[in-house]
């Protein structure tokens, strides 16, 4: 029998392996899952205040230590403190000493993690406005201290 001419021979379908077709579908599903996981990991949860302690030693200066579970954006410290003293009406009245107005409010933000000493991550001071005694002016914000909180109240 003569050998078939490759140019005129009929083209027979190649045998397709049963698992070769789902591979592109599987790869596309894995790619989509990877993109979703990467997107979810970039969403940050809002830092949560876990404790507010009042360490005031003077009648006209309030000192708060705010414990958070993670760091905040720089502007969020100022926003949180302003919201705190407005909600508690600290610019209008002193809750512990009636008739004595609050001159300054100090906020120390502390980051506590299991197994580590607490770290001060921000410090803010608000001072009573000389023009309007019912307002507090933001004096300054210090962010980024990683100093251990050991004996910090004694300084």
Q: Summarize pLDDT for 85-109 with one digit per residue, the tens.
A: 999 998 888 888 998 999 999 999 9
Q: How confident is the model at residue 32 (pLDDT cuts 50, 70, 90)?
A: confident
Q: What is the CA radius of gyration of the chain?
A: 32
Query: Is it the case that residue 122 has pLDDT exceeding 50?
Result: yes
* pLDDT band at 36; cut points 50, 70, 90: low
Please report the pLDDT score of residue 151 as a whole number.
Answer: 45
Burial-class residue 68 by CB neighbours within 10 Å (0-12, 13-18, 19+): buried
Q: Which residue has the tokens 């698992």?
A: 19
Work out the burial of residue 81: count CB atoms within 10 Å of its CB; fewer than 13 is exposed, 13-18 middle, 19 or more buried: buried
What are the residue ranges spanned by the domains of the chain?
49-154
Taking 80 as the threshold, does the pLDDT of residue 27 lie above it? no
Residue 128 phi, psi (nearest 5): -60, 135
């Amino acid at each position: 029998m003569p050998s078939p001419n490759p140019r005129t021979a009929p083209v027979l379908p190649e045998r397709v392996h049963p698992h070769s077709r789902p591979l592109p579908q599987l790869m596309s599903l894995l790619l989509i899952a990877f993109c979703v996981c990467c997107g979810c990991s970039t969403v940050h949860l809002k830092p949560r205040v876990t404790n507010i302690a009042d360490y005031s030693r003077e009648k006209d200066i309030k000192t708060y230590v705010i414990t958070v579970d993670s760091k905040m954006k720089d502007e969020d410290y100022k926003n949180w403190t302003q919201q705190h003293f407005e909600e508690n009406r600290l610019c209008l009245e002193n809750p512990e000493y009636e008739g004595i107005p609050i001159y300054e409010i100090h906020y120390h933000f502390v980051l506590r993690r299991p197994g580590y000493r607490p770290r001060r991550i921000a410090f803010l001071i608000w001072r009573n406005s000389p023009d309007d005694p019912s307002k507090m002016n933001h004096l300054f914000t210090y962010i980024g201290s990683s100093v251990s909180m050991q004996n910090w109240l004694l300084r």
